[in-house]
Chains A and B, each alone.
Chain A
Amino acid sequence: MALEHAEVLRAAHLARLDLSDKDAAKYLDDIGQILDMVDQLQKLDTTDVAPLAHPMDATQRLRADEVTEKDQRDHYQQCAPQVENGLYLVPRVVE
């Protein structure tokens, strides 16, 4: 499945990665080669083969929705770029 320049830009937007047209052209070649290699998978008939998401074929273990750890907000926010009153500061998005 050949990759188009616009699809690289679309993926970059979805991934929230700033990417110039020039950079997209650079990645287009590499990703095209990788997807050509990945296309080998299409040779295999996988009809009736169940997908395997967990290597032990296990389902996600769930736990009770209960608080199990004490609040450490101040401790964890020490590595934040900017905080104020226990909140993370980001640029204004609503004028």
Chain B
Amino acid sequence: MHDKTITEIVGALDAGTISSRELTQDLLGRIDRLDGQLNSFITVTAEQALSAADQADQQRANGQAGPLTGVPLAIKDIFCTQGVKTSCGSKMLDNFVAPYDATVVSKLRAAGTVSLGKTNMDEFAMGSSNENSFYGPVKNPWDLTAVPGGSSGGSAAAVAAGLVPAALGTDTGGSIRQPAAFCGITGLKPTYGRVSRYGMIAYASSLDQGGPMARSAADCALLLNTIAGHDARDSTSIARGVPDYSEELDAPLAGLKIGLPREYFGDGLDADVETAIRDAIKVFESLGASVREVSLPHTSYAIPAYYVIAPAEASSNLSRYDGVRFGHRCDNPSDLIDLYKRSRAEGFGDEVKRRILIGTHTLSEGFFDAYYKKAQQVRRLIRQDFLGAFEEVDVLMGPATPTPAFDLGATKDPVSMYLQDIYTIAINLAGIPGISVPAGFSGKRPVGLQILGTHFSEARLLNVAHQFQQATDWHLRRPEIAEENA
């Protein structure tokens, strides 16, 4: 069952060919055997998982099963989970056992899902390769010498390797879509505010958004049905009705207008990635869609704007880690300032410190207008680019990443690493939704097609992605590590 979709698993649970306990035991065994090579989990919660599986089996026996009852999954370690270590990939929170559940965790728990544990991630979600975790790098299941992408790389690797059918991730500048592309799975970043951020450890509050990562668009729709919706505990959550995201999956694509941003097909795009994306576009044309070129003229300013806004927000959000109330505290501080400074210096890793320093500098007296205000003005221009494009076309398509997964340790300087997110980052600045779906390979490393829509167009994106997955089999391919250890 380890390579099945949620839909298939629910079918098997309904038919009684397997119980949730048997499935959970099987996947826990796979984690035990395989995760030593992948490092995709920070914490495995076997005991709680088996207990939840038993409850799910009981609910099913009582005729009380919902669409996700008994389905195993994993949760990025950025989501607070009551009674379970919630580290956010950081030494700072290595001793933190969350006293409450994030809203999405509560919703998944109420839906009867079975969490197998917390997945590895770049520290405080800062990274594009998953090499910044206090718990060590995650390996790409398709090629153990490659990165899985970041910062939701643990979630992506766990799904790709058949350790879980689905996982939760978060996306601040591409952290769901980029690892989904690198690991050959489907990942959806919803519209900003569509999914509650309550209990999701904050990196950059105006950009962070949680979302599903799974083997298919249909599975992402099932998960989004459960986790989307207004939350009074999150003041950035949008009060708007949640449609049934599974309902429109089968709608035909005839008449769909696709825009190809010319800025997404220029210098720096790997030839294999471009070939895969252009081949994918032909599939959509064969399904009745029309294609035209569009322009997003401020695309090249997205990364500079992001690296002002995100570190500025991070420097504020991470000020709460001061050694006083929770998290790491240094030994024998001489006074309160020493407590703050040494606890933070010992608890944070290099990339986090770098971004705190940038954010603090750009917000400091004399620099605010030149950096922060300017970046916020550019952010508006980037948003206008997208809204203008969506007046002409229904969706935008392009590569999720400029290259396939790169080698572990290969990208040394921060600016080169930041450029990995060139096609994903603007979407967060604009708050629109985006999905990455498997669309081919470069050698043995997967390529992701990114599909973008206007605000709250998740149902349309899932429909478009699902129709692509009905016409292709890229999402059905599995890495050797998953097959050899079946």
Contacts and interface: CB of A to CB of B under 8 A. Distances in A.
Contact of B308 (A7, A14, A33, A38): A38
A40 interface: yes
A51 B335 CA distance: 40
A60 interface: yes
A55 B354 contact: no
Interface of B: 95-99, 192-193, 206-207, 232, 235-236, 238, 298, 300-301, 303-305, 307-308, 315, 319, 322-326, 329, 333-342, 344-345, 348, 353-354, 356-358, 360-362, 364, 367, 370-371, 373-381, 383, 413-415, 418, 428-431, 455
Contacts, number: 170
B321 to A, nearest CB: 10
Contacts of A63: 232, 235
Contacts of A61: 235
Nearest to A52: B380
17 contacts: A3-B361, A7-B361, A14-B360, A15-B344, A17-B341, A17-B356, A27-B353, A37-B415, A38-B375, A40-B300, A41-B305, A49-B380, A52-B377, A53-B376, A54-B431, A79-B95, A91-B338
A54 to B, nearest CB: 6
A13 B114 CA distance: 44
Contacts of B431: 54-56
A85 interface: no
A17 B347 CA distance: 10
Interface string A39-57: 1111010100111111111
A51 B377 contact: yes
A69 B431 CA distance: 31
A9 B437 CA distance: 44
B325 A34 contact: no
Most buried by A among B97, B325, B375, B418: B325
Nearest to B321: A16
A10 interface: yes
A64 to B, nearest CB: 12
Most buried by A among B342, B429, B431: B431
A15 B326 contact: no
A17 B348 contact: yes
A88 B373 contact: no
Contacts of A92: 335
B413 A15 contact: no
B430 A44 contact: no
Most buried by B among A38, A41, A51, A72: A38
Contact of B336 (A3, A41, A75, A93): A93
A42 B315 contact: no
Nearest to A7: B361
Contacts of A35: 358, 361
The 6 A-B pairs with the shortest beta carbon distances in the complex, nearest first, are A55-B431, A51-B376, A18-B345, A46-B377, A52-B380, A18-B341
A1 interface: yes
B303 to A, nearest CB: 7
Contact of A40 (B301, B325, B326): B301
Contacts of B95: 79
Nearest to A76: B99
B342 to A, nearest CB: 5
Contact of B371 (A30, A38, A82): A38
Contacts of A53: 206, 376
B345 A17 contact: yes
Contacts of B322: 16
Contacts of B361: 3, 7-8, 10-11, 31, 35
Contacts of A54: 206, 236, 431
Contact of B374 (A27, A41, A50, A75): A41
A38 B340 CA distance: 29
A80 interface: yes
